Amino acid sequence: MTKKVISFLNKIKPKDVIITIFHNDADGICSCVLMNKFLKQKIGRGADFLISQPMPPDKNLLQKIRLSLPTKVIFLDLAIDQNKSLIKKIETDCEILVIDHHQISNNLNSKKTVHYNPLFKNSVYQSASYLTYKICSEICNMEKYLWVSLVGIIGDYNIADSMDLINEAKKKYPRLIKKCDQETVHNSLFGQIADMISAAKACRISCEEIVKIISNIKFPDDVWTNQTLTESYRKIQKEMERLMIDAKSNIDTNKNIIFYEIKSPYNLRSPLATRLSKEYQKKLIIIWSKIKNRIKLSARNQNKNIDVGKVLRNAIKGIKYASAGGHATAAGLDIRKGDWEVVKERLEREVNK
């Protein structure tokens, strides 16, 4: 499978029109930065177009792609295999590479598409930033961008199956990483940069703009000179402190599942869910909010005693216009507001079996 990815990347030529489509989180952003750095070494420039996407992707994604007339489309950190029909439509116009690490719904491999996911062969959790760095390093020297990979790995939280790069980073940045355990790595500068990326996104800085910002930073310490990142970080840190105090005073910790409706001018469901899950590791943390006629939530479980992705998928079975996806420890869900009480009851039932 790795050989097919390398072959795809090696065949990219300067005349190709390339679109990189990436998940709108720290891992997706760092994966995009790494792919762009690789392309600049390979063909002298980055992708012609960058498109960030949520999961599930926007309904107008196909139109965006076709308007750009690409010959190559690269998907990073997106479970796009959940939308096989979309891939088949894109295949009529160009070749596709998918680098992903989410639970697999469909095998997209074909004459026009290379679908790379370590879960095809191994039960591992390796972020898209890890995979992109490792694959691109087979072709070009990516060592000076190791720190970007590390930020993406930390941003996706679970580092257990990425320790080879963590140890490599400790040797390269001994001042910044003292020990290679999860807590130390997450509290390092690289963890702060991951938080800065999330903060900038929460402050409505576009993911495409954040890719440009990270791409222009040569050394990790230089992040403090970027006003957009530092101001967003301070603003969101203050808001997170407020939300943590409010959440702790309003949640019921006696149950296996914790619900908290977040009310904030910033999109902080995911980081708040992650932070609360560190304190209540055996619980399923559900952070939800109403957005117009939809309910969106982020779910976490640090102890791995609950398969978060499976629980969310089971909760929306048979419900129209609903989507859920993610990993065993972290996942998200999007449903109509009118279905919330039914889904909430199902979530409670699933966790308390």
Q: What is the pLDDT along the chain (353 residues), one digit of tens a residue?
A: 789 999 999 999 999 999 999 999 999 999 999 999 999 999 999 999 999 998 888 889 999 999 999 999 999 999 999 999 999 999 999 999 999 999 899 999 999 999 999 999 988 989 999 999 999 999 999 999 999 999 999 998 888 899 999 999 999 999 999 888 888 888 999 999 999 999 999 999 999 999 999 999 999 999 999 999 999 999 999 999 999 999 999 999 988 999 999 999 999 999 999 999 989 999 999 999 999 999 999 999 988 889 998 999 999 999 999 988 888 888 899 999 999 999 999 999 988 86
| Per-residue pLDDT, 158 | 82
* Interstrand relation of 72-76 and 113-116 (parallel, antiparallel or unpaired): unpaired
**Residue ranges matching CATH 3.10.310.40 in the chain:** 251-351
| Per-residue pLDDT, 179 | 85
Give how far the C-alpha of residue 207 lies from the chain's centroid of Cα atoms, to the nearest Å.
12
One-letter-per-residue 3-state SS of the chain: CHHHHHHHHHCCCCCCCEEEEEECCHHHHHHHHHHHHHHHHHHCCCCCEEEEECCCCCCCHHHHHHHCCCCEEEEECCCHHHHHHHHHHHHCCCEEEEECCCCCCCCCCCCCEEEECHHHCCCCCCCHHHHHHHHHHCCCCCHHHHHHHHHHHHHCCCCHHHHHHHHHHHHHCCCCCCCCCHHHHHCCHHHHHHHHHHHHHHCCCCHHHHHHHHHCCCCHHHHHHCHHHHHHHHHHHHHHHHHHHHHHHHCCCCCCEEEEECCCCCCCHHHHHHHHHHHCCCCEEEEEEEECCEEEEEEECCCCCCCHHHHHHHHCCCCCCCEEEECCCEEEEEEEHHHHHHHHHHHHHHHCC
**Residue ranges matching CATH 3.90.1640.30 in the chain:** 2-229
Architecture label for domain 251-351: Roll (3.10)
| Per-residue pLDDT, 157 | 80
| Per-residue pLDDT, 20 | 98
| Per-residue pLDDT, 103 | 87
| Per-residue pLDDT, 148 | 98
| Per-residue pLDDT, 83 | 92
Class of the CATH-defined domain 2-229: alpha beta
* Interstrand relation of 18-23 and 72-76 (parallel, antiparallel or unpaired): parallel
| Per-residue pLDDT, 128 | 97
Task: Write down the pTM of the prediction.
Answer: 0.90
